[in-house]
Structure 1
Amino acid sequence: MNNKTYCEVIRWSPQAMTIVKPIFYMCIFATISHTLFWIQFIAYPSVRQHSMQWVYAYLITDELLLFRFFLIYAYRWLPVCVPYTFRMAFCYAEAIFDNYLNLLQSYILLALNISRYLQIAYNHNVYSSNGRLIVVAHIAIYITPLFGHIISIICGWCILENPPGDVCDLLPVSLTIRLFFLLFSYFIPVILTLIFLLLSLNYIHNTQGIQTQVIVDARLKYHRQLVVQSGVFYSLWLILWSPHLVVFPFFYKNSTVGTVAQILNYLSILVDPIVIAALDVRFLRAWKSTGEYFRRYIRRQQSVRAPITYPLDLLDRAKE
């Protein structure tokens, strides 16, 4: 029988399931944390700021990765007979979009730190004064890595790994291609981001030309807050997320090294909205306001459900 015409039920292998199950539960908790974050975004206009657009773009890629995981989990869990053409198309999409979305995040963080440096160094809103440039940067960041992955497949620079009962993956065919991927997916965005973080840190300590101490203190407080936010968040990204970018050109995803990198990857997705909300005072106020609302609601419910009691002597008199 021609394997290009018949359908097949795709199932997780027992070995793959032992790896996927913990990640599945982690993704459930990550979905909850992201849902709570976006509830705050919808409920409070104070957090819907243009200056946060790169952060929101980063979180959207988190959610796309969660959606991708749940989709491939269901695809190999449901007893559906899948035609060969669809299997191959899905396999390529599964492999491409994992690497693409992870690569996307490194350049989104680079754009965030460049924008914050310009905001600190030139003391103006880059999102309103350079709106068209920001839009072009968004489009370039989203399109370029995707075309890069497609071209690498067409040119034969990567091969598709499709083991039975396991995830699909793209692996470069030579050491040169692997180093090329590592350079553009990790070293260039990381080094540039660290440079702009250091430039921002250096600039907030440079008070030359400012005579009024009040202005100096106000500028230092605001700019220091931006640099601390970027520094803490990027440090967590380097610890939890960057291992995936480092190992994906060299190791299959469900190898031992690849599994550790994946777990750290999804752990980062879980904590991302928590860290962002904790570092931004606007979200802290929103969470506090939400907590106060629920406490008042619970107190109202308790007061409504509390039974009305009367003294016994009044009840006896009423009976007489």
Structure 2
Amino acid sequence: MHNGSIIQDGGWDPTDLAQNNIIFGVCIVAAILHTFLWSQMIMRKIKFDITFLFSLSYISTDIFLLLFYFIAYAIRIRSWIPITLATCYFEAYAMFYFNILETYSLMALNISRYWQIVRNPNTYTDHRKMIIVSCVITPFLVAINLIIQDILGWSVLYSIPGSSCNVSFTNIPIQVWNMTIMLVIPIVLSFCLLFRAFRFLQSAQAGQLHIRRNHHRKVTIQTLIFYSFWFILWLPGMIVNCLDSDYVDGTTNFIVILLSTIETLCDPIVGVFLDKRIAQAWKKSYKWMRRQSGKIKITSDLNKCAFSALPAIDPQTFIQACKDYVNSELAPVVEVRACNSNCATKICPYKAAKVQCGTKCHPAKKKCCTNT
């Protein structure tokens, strides 16, 4: 229905409800993964700086996409809530808008990395203001583009009872414009810069392949892997959104939305190819879980021990026994010397102070000594 004041009864029809229940289940898993990733990045003290800005903005768009879908789902499953014009605009434009921002976030990331590899290794430092300004201006430009098209009637909001609201672009020139601005330029530019950066690194002489170039080659390959995965799952949905939705049947629309949702679910995992700090968050979390499982195992083993059968030992008696051993003939023969070696320090077992490595602390003379 094309109408300037769309108001309809809420709820989906049985087919749309079943399809959205599947998408909702995928979104629940995606929300769990994203929440875990963000909590680990904060708890593991991952460094958030300007070099992480574009990767972080890309991951952030997933949070908004999930949040907006949960809001739309909560409204639609309550069939007694009418769908107002504001609700319909939100349902049609919100996720479409943040999907566009995903494209520009990845394009900005690839431009910065290409410039850093080929031209200037200090790109994020030398062009700090330009990077920040681009992050602020881009969302406004994308929003202005969509608002102008709606005001001039180049895009039409429509709703079919029992289905979600959608936006339809009225003529072919507008569809071509949106495809060019929102898809072709960002995606083609990103792929071109990735391949140019890779060829630049490949053409370098063997003597020039120092640690920095090897690191850049690894980052370029990982970014290409991530971008290919994202391109396959995300692109079909955006093509459908940019074309006239009247010509897309419900099953096709469901499939492309499901693919896009799966891509959102996989972002926290495949994001390890996008930025090393995401990989660090997962790695530190894995190490922490291994340590915790080790503690649980040790505690379980200790619980099996019959400590009640062991005799009680007075702490002073235990300390005196240790001192007697050190002063006895069983203790290693030692030579007294000053602590003046240049090696690293360690904790003295007797004085609870740092001494030079390879030394022991004589309990009586209180000087450092080494084995002869």
Pairing of 1:78-97 with structure 2 (within 5 A): 78=78, 81-82=81-82, 87-97=84-94
Higher helix share: 1
Q: Distance in 2 between matches of 1:27 and 1:170?
A: 23
Aligned with 1:251 (options 245, 253, 257): 245
User: Could you tell me how far 1:169 is from its partner in structure 2?
Assistant: 0.7
Q: Residue 222 of structure 2 corresponds to which residue in structure 1?
A: 229
Secondary structure at the aligned position of 2:157 is classed as: strand
- Give the C-alpha shift of residue 268 in structure 1: 0.5
Secondary structure of the corresponding residue to residue 45 of structure 1: coil
Residue correspondence of structure 1 range 64-103 to structure 2 within 5 A: 64-78=64-78, 81-82=81-82, 87-103=84-100
1:35 matched residue in structure 2: 35
- Please state if 1:196 is matched with 2:190: no
Would you say 1:110 and 2:107 are equivalent positions?
Answer: yes
Task: Tell me, in whole angstroms, the C-alpha distance in 1 between the residues paired with 2:286 and 2:240.
Answer: 41
Tell whether 2:44 aligns with 1:51.
Answer: no
Task: Measure how far apart 1:254 and its partner are.
Answer: 6.6
Give the Cα–Cα distance (whole angstroms) in 2 for the partners of residues 192 and 284 of structure 1: 26
Secondary structure at the residue paired with 2:133? helix
1:23 is aligned to 23
Query: Alpha-carbon deviations, 1:177-229, whole Å to 9, x = none?
Result: 22221121111111111221122112212326xxx83x523233111122112
Aligned partners of 1:41 and 1:48 also within 8 Å: no
Unaligned runs of 5+ in 1: 316-320
What is the identity percentage for the equivalent residue pairs of Structure 1 and Structure 2? 30
- Partners of 1:22 and 1:64 lie apart in 2 by 19
Label 1:110 to 1:284 Cα distance change in 2 as closer, same or farther (>3 A): closer
1:318 maps to none
Distance in 2 between residues matched to 1:285 and 1:98, nearest whole Å: 29
Structure 1 equivalent of residue 124 of structure 2 = 127
Deviations 1:65-112 (Å, cap 9, x if unpaired)? 111110000011236544x7xx10111122112221111111111111
2:155 is aligned with 1:158: yes
Q: What TM-score do the two structures reach when normalised by structure 2?
A: 0.74
The TM-score normalised by the length of structure 1 is 0.85
Total equivalences in the alignment: 303
- The match for 1:149 is 146
Contact 1:54 1:109 in 2 (8 A): yes
CA positional deviation for 1:282:
4.2
From 127, 133, 136, the equivalent of 1:136 is 133
Is the radius of gyration larger for structure 1 or structure 2? 2
Higher RCO by CA contacts (8 Å cutoff, separation 6 or greater):
1
| Secondary structure of 1:165's aligned partner | coil
Question: CA-atom RMSD, angstroms?
Answer: 2.7
Change (3 A) 1:285 1:41: closer
How far has the Cα of 1:255 moved from its partner?
2.2
Secondary structure of the structure 2 residue equivalent to 1:48: coil
Please give the alpha-carbon distance, in whole angstroms, between the structure 1 residues aligned to 2:76 and 2:48.
38
**Structure 2 unmatched runs, 5+:** 311-372
